[in-house]
Structure 1
Amino acid sequence: MQSLHISTSAMRGIQQALDNTANNLANIDTVGYKRRTASFSELLSDSMTDQPAMDNQNRSSAAGLRIGSGARLGMTRLDLAPGSIEETGKPTDVVIEGQGYFLVTKKIKDAAGEIIREESRFTRDGSFKIQYDDDEGGYVLHTTSGHILTDENGVSIVLQEPIEDIKITPDGEISANGDTFKIGVWKVDNPDQLQQVGQNLFDAELDTEENPMAKYENAIELRVAKLRQGALEGSNVTMTQEMSQLVNIQRAYQLNSRAIGISDQMMEIANSLRSR
């Protein structure tokens, strides 16, 4: 029975690793996407110490027999390797060179159209578009998901006119028609703890109107990031690496599936011997 538990727990983790690889491949062309790698951890194991004395002599390992319970998917780590940078020439396209994330916000409304809260998200996707926003009373830079780019204080950047001639400096200063803002780029100490919420976004874990400086540091001021206008960062997913991982996952799944089949045959033989 123990072999069945070990193989089934391993197959469960392998299925999750397969889903992770599939998600990476699905986002191979997503701007600013960071791939995740699966890592496994061992489940609790039992130790049997009732061995004959002669078996305990001249051994370098610990006393007793260790009986494992299999493995599981421990966590998926965020691969922070930079993606390839593509020059687009669009003034509203911005790429982060180095560490850090853009902070974008979106107002959540109820059925009556009343604002009930504001959600804050992190993203590396710098493909912004200009659009008029009724709630902000001006033109904003927003993502494809409708989230608005914020400044170094976590406040939405609002332009008074739909100007295409926007200048963005490497230190994050954005200027248009005499208005000047400072784009916020935030450094996260432990990116593995960021929760993916879909649409290439991460939960920033900020309350409504909470200043991001209370939890995060400005990556530009720390000199670990700078901005480049007119370019986008591609996904850091590579087809060859993911396909190689996919082959390893398939082999591991087949091995555990075969182990379950052999265990079933062994129990069938044992039952047939007992019935005689």
Structure 2
Amino acid sequence: MNPAMWISKTGVQAQDAKLQAIANNLANANTVGFKKDRVVFEDLFYSVEQQPGTQRADNNTLSPTGVQLGNGTHMTGTQKVFTDGATQITNNKMDVAVIGNGFLQVRRPNGESGYTRAGQLGVDQNGVLINAQGLPLVPQVTIPATATSITIAENGTVSVTTQGNTIPQEVGQLTLSSFINPTGLLALGENLFQETQASGAPTEGRPGDAQFGKLKQGALEGSNVQVVEEMVDMIAAQRTYEMNTKVLSAADNMLQYLAQAAR
């Protein structure tokens, strides 16, 4: 295969992967707590025909640059960008936005922990605080059946007022978990992340303490996708894709010309 055709093929594949990431970002522009993805590329190995600094045979001088021909690009990975999304005021007492660093922890059906930035909370039939997927928060907080209102403080303290009692009663404490490398978390879908060796072990603490952010009741954290930026990236990826296909076509035409000339 013509090297230029191979290189262009890697470029087409790279831009296809970038377009897929952009499409997913745009699809989740209104997903609560969503963190956008970016694709990371690097150049492939080089065919070194002459190393820089080697002696030239024609005049006994040193080659200042050498001859190094690249062989294209490839995707090394994707990264979640954990910048804060815009805070959306909902005035729903069961909604909680994480302002700053940290994740709410939930217990998944298999008993393992999941981590989320989506604070659309509710209660199950037993009064246990759950997320939108019905997974209980960790540590577990139970709301009494007689509760008439619920208050979630910035530091995660959960209080309720009950029938016949106007004095708030503390019933639990929400905590946040942070990771030294959040980009190493495994995205599970359903606004959930899972701990991995790359992310490191979680550190748990009260909201507002040390490296942890605060909670805001009656609000949700929106997606951090910037639609205009994604549209600009999409246009750039589309044009780059087109240029790579044109190189493929040009290389094919050159091969056809050589084949005809050889007859």
Give the TM-score range, shorter chain.
Answer: 0.7 to 0.9
In the TM superposition, 1:181-196 aligns within 5 A as 181-196=172-187
Provide, for residues 10-45 of structure 1, a one-character-per-residue CA deviation record: whole Å limited to 9, x for no partner: 211211111100000001111111111222111111
The answer on whether the counterparts of 1:159 and 1:179 sit within 8 Å (CA) in structure 2 is no
Change beyond 3 A, Cα 1:55–1:90? farther
Aligned to 1:273: 261
What is the identity, as a one-letter code, of the residue corresponding to 1:170?
Answer: E
Q: What is the match of residue 124 of structure 1?
A: 117
The equivalent of 1:97 in structure 2 is 99
* Closer, same or farther: CA 250–232 of 1 in aligned 2, 3 Å: same
Q: Are 2:116 and 1:139 aligned?
A: no
Q: How many Å apart are 1:128 and its aligned residue?
A: 0.9
Q: Return the letter of the residue paired with 1:88.
A: T
Instruction: Please name the residue that 1:114 is paired with.
Output: none
Q: How does 1:5-154 map to 2 (within 5 A)?
A: 5-49=6-50, 53-54=57-58, 57=61, 60-61=64-65, 63=66, 65-107=67-109, 117-132=110-125, 138-151=126-139
Matched, 1:171 2:143: no
Instruction: Report the Cα offset of residue 216 of structure 1.
Output: 2.5
> What per-residue deviation string (whole Å, max 9, x for no partner) do you get for residues 255-274 of structure 1?
11011111111111112222
Give the fraction of aligned pairs with identical amino acids, expressed as a percent: 28
Instruction: Evaluate the alpha carbon distance shift between residue 82 and residue 11 of structure 1 in structure 2; reply closer, same or farther with a 3 A threshold.
Output: same
- For the residues of structure 1 that align with 2:218 and 2:9, how far apart are their CA atoms? 50
Structure 2 unaligned spans of 5+: 163-168
* Normalised TM-score (structure 1): 0.82
Post-superposition offset of 1:126: 0.5
Please state if 1:233 is matched with 2:221. yes
- Alpha-carbon distance in structure 2 between the residues aligned to 1:39 and 1:216: 28
The 1-side partners of 2:56 and 2:195 are apart by 58
- Count the aligned residue pairs: 249
SS at match of 1:258: helix
Structure 1 216/223 Cα, relative in aligned 2: closer, same or farther at 3 Å? closer
Counterpart CA distance in 1 for 2:41 and 2:60 is 31
TM-score (structure 2 length as normaliser): 0.86
Taking structure 1 as reference, are residues 215 and 33 closer, same or farther at Cα in structure 2, changes over 3 Å only? Answer: closer
Tell me if structure 2 keeps the 8 A contact 1:99–1:219. no
Instruction: Spell out, residue by residue over 1:229-268, the C-alpha distance to the aligned partner (whole angstroms, 9 max, x if none).
Output: 1111111112111100000010110011011111111111
1:196-246 residue CA offsets vs partner (Å, 9 max, x unmatched) = 11112111359xxxxxx9643436332431111111111111211110000
Q: Tell me the C-alpha RMSD between the 2 structures.
A: 2.4
AA aligned opposite 1:255: M
Shift of 1:82: 1.4
Which residue is 1:218 aligned to?
A: 205
Amino acid paired to 1:80: F
| Pair 273,158 (structure 1): closer, same or farther in 2 beyond 3 Å | same
- Deviating more after overlay: 191-200 vs 246-255: 191-200
Indicate conservation of the 8 Å contact 1:120/1:205, yes or no.
no
Quote the residue 2:165 is aligned against: none
Residue matched to 1:210: none
| Residue 144 of structure 1, CA deviation | 2.2
Partner SS state of residue 118, structure 1: coil
1-structure distance, mates of 2:38, 2:257:
41
Contact 1:121 1:202 in 2 (8 A): yes
User: Which AA in structure 1 matches 2:228?
Assistant: T
Q: Alpha carbons of 1:215 and 1:84: their partners in 2 closer, same or farther (altered >3 Å)?
A: closer
**Equivalent residues of 1:92, 1:230 under 8 A apart:** yes
Alignment partners' CA distance in 1, 2:148 and 2:106? 20
**Native 8 Å contact 2:195 2:201 kept in 1:** no
What's the CA shift string for 1:44-95, capped at 9, x where partnerless? 112112996348847542x3x1121111122222222211112111111111
